[in-house]
Each structure stands twice: as C-alpha cells, then as structure tokens.
Amino acid sequence: MADKEKKVTIGLDLGGTAVKIGIVDEAYELLAQTSIPTGAERPYEQVIADMGMAAAALLQENGWRMEDCLGVGAGCPGTIDSKNGVVLYSNNIRWDNVPAAAGLQRYLPVPVCLDNDANCAALGEVTKGAARGYRNVVFLTLGTGVGGGIVIDGRIFTGGHPGGAELGHIRNGSEHRRCTCGRYDCLETYASATALISDTKKLAAQYPESVIWELCGGEAERIDARMPFDAAQAGDVCGRMLVERYIRHLADGITDLANIFRPDRIVIGGGVCAQGRNLTDPLNKYLQENCFAASTAYVPQVITAQNGNSAGIIGAASLVRQGMR
C-alpha cells in the first residue's frame, strides 16, 4: 500500500475503445490502475460521467480520499483547447467542442487539466521515461498516424493556438500520397505504422519469394509493421528495401524537427520502436550527416520511449504537477 501521507495524481487516457485510469505518486510511479470501455457512441456526458466515477472509485478503493488528490490530468486524441479544457474536435471519439475538463470536475472536485494525448506522452517521457531530466524534447509517436509532442523548457508547447504540434503533418516524400488531413505527402503518409504496413503489402506483392510471405503465412492481411524489420534482419532483399526507405523518410522528418527545435533529445514512441537500435542507430547516423551545422552545433540524440502502455496515464498525470510549477 502506498504512503498515504503523500499526495497523488490521477491520469486519464481517453482512447477510442477504452479509457485507462491510473493513480501516480510524486515520482510518477503507477500505484493503481483500471480501465473501462469508452462507449464513444453514447452522449459525451455519459462517457465523462463514467470516467469521473471510475476514477473516484479507484481512489476510494485504494484508500485515498479526494483531499489526497492533487488533481486530474486527461489526455485525449484530437485538437484540444488546453487553456479552456475543451476538446475542439476528436475524430476517434467523435467529440466536437466538448467541455471535458469542466465535465470531469463535477465528479472529481480537484484541478483538472486536459491536453492532446501525444503531448501528454511527450511530457510523460520527460517526467518519467526516456528523456527524464531533459528540458527540451520533441516526441513522435509512430502508430496509426504520426502524433507529435513538444516540450520546451520543461512544459508542453501546444502552439499559439489549438492545433499546433501536429508533427505528423509536415511535408516529407514526393509520391503524392494523400494524407487523412487532406494534404499530400505528410510525414504521416510515410512514417506511420499504417504506411509501413501498406508499403510492405505493395512491395511484397512484387517479391513472391520474400521472407515476408513466410512470416505472414501467405496472407497479406496478416502483415504487420514488425515483419519488414524481421525480414530485413534475415537478409531478405524486400525487407531491407522497406526498412531502408521507411527509415530514410522518418530520418528526414526528424532532421526537420532537429533544425527547428534543436532539442536535448528526440524521442520516438509507438509499436515500431520495439525495434530499438535497429531503428535509432541509422536515424542518429542520418541526423549527424544532415542536421544543419552538425559540425559546430549540438545534434540531438534520437532515443525510444520507455513508458509503453502506461505512457498515456503517466503523461496525463504529469499535466497536473507541471501546471503547478
């Protein structure tokens, strides 16, 4: 049982199918956690009520009173007005202009902070994770899309207006790939796990002898983002081409961000990062060769995220103490 003398913080990670709820201590150690289905098809008031009540129950079940709780942080996909605690627009949960922070506060009468989930994950890697102790960090999450989070001087930078830090939506390749945002050739269309899987399906179709077909049991629909890496490791030509191309696009996007932010560290998260140094070694090599003024100025190191499945909870919980500094 945790030390009840010390204050705790609640982190809420609101996803399309589930809401993860956790209680963390001042070192961002996860003391208790639970998960509930989002039920995003319901009116948002009901979703928020479920989240608030489940968080309050988790506190109580573990022996904390509301007075022991410093505050609640919530991370949500989409365009967030963090100053006013409003979800302006979230495609995943179909929310449009939802005052989520005020809604949660009805059930959790403590300070409530709200931010974009990628911003939260970025902050979580700074408070407890791969970039712990660093003040200036750029975070990229490589999943269905490419999300971005920027930490400047220890705090999340969301942009002058909501809708900033959309690091997956900077120009990258030149194959005229249509992005979900409407623009062409965004980084997301080359460097997301979705893009890698789609590219793998296309190229493997031209290499019937590729190891990838063994890995997926001959079923293209079973191809995942790990298979091209595994195939490349096994010396497969098709796999190598895919991995080299993927890394070049990602490296190009990361170089842009290094030239703009010149941060202490660039952290990459998402499933693809299980590749570890197979991914970061060539990324760091490219950055050393292509970063502006690499011979005279600091070149940030690229590292993989550490918070894994708890990234959302830890990041969201970090919003609370961050706002108090």
Q: How far apart are CA 187 and CA 146, in angstroms?
A: 7
Are 165 and 119 in contact by the 8 Å Cβ rule? The answer is yes
**Which position has the token pair 């009173």?**
65
193 CA to centre of own chain: 13
CA dihedral 240, 139, 101, 27 (to 10 degrees): 110
As measured in angstroms, the least distance from the Cβ of 192 to its own copies is: 15
As measured in angstroms, the least distance from the Cβ of 83 to its own copies is: 12
Closer to its own copies by Cβ: residue 108 or 165:
165
Number of residues written out for the chain: 325
Closer to its own copies by Cβ: residue 300 or 312:
300
Question: Which residues are near its own copies by CB under 8 A?
Answer: 79, 88-89, 96, 135-137, 148, 150, 152, 157-167, 169-174, 181-183, 252-253, 255-256, 259-264, 289-290, 292-294, 296-298, 300
Closest CA to 285 of 255, 305, 306: 255
Q: How far apart are CA 266 and CA 232, in angstroms?
A: 25
Handedness of CA 137, 152, 252, 75 (dihedral sign): positive
Q: How far is CA 134 from CA 189, 267, 302, 307, in A?
A: 30, 11, 13, 16
Are 127 and 137 in contact by the 8 Å Cβ rule? The answer is no
- Please list the residues that pair with 96 across neighbouring strands: 89
- Please list the residues that pair with 225 across neighbouring strands: none
**Strand 86-90, strand 95-98: pairing:** antiparallel
Residue 196 token pair? 């890698």
CA-based end-to-end distance of the chain: 28
Q: How far apart are CA 236 and CA 181, in angstroms?
A: 34
As measured in angstroms, the least distance from the Cβ of 154 to its own copies is: 11
Q: How far apart are CA 68 and CA 32, in angstroms?
A: 14
Closest CA to 85 of 94, 93, 75: 75
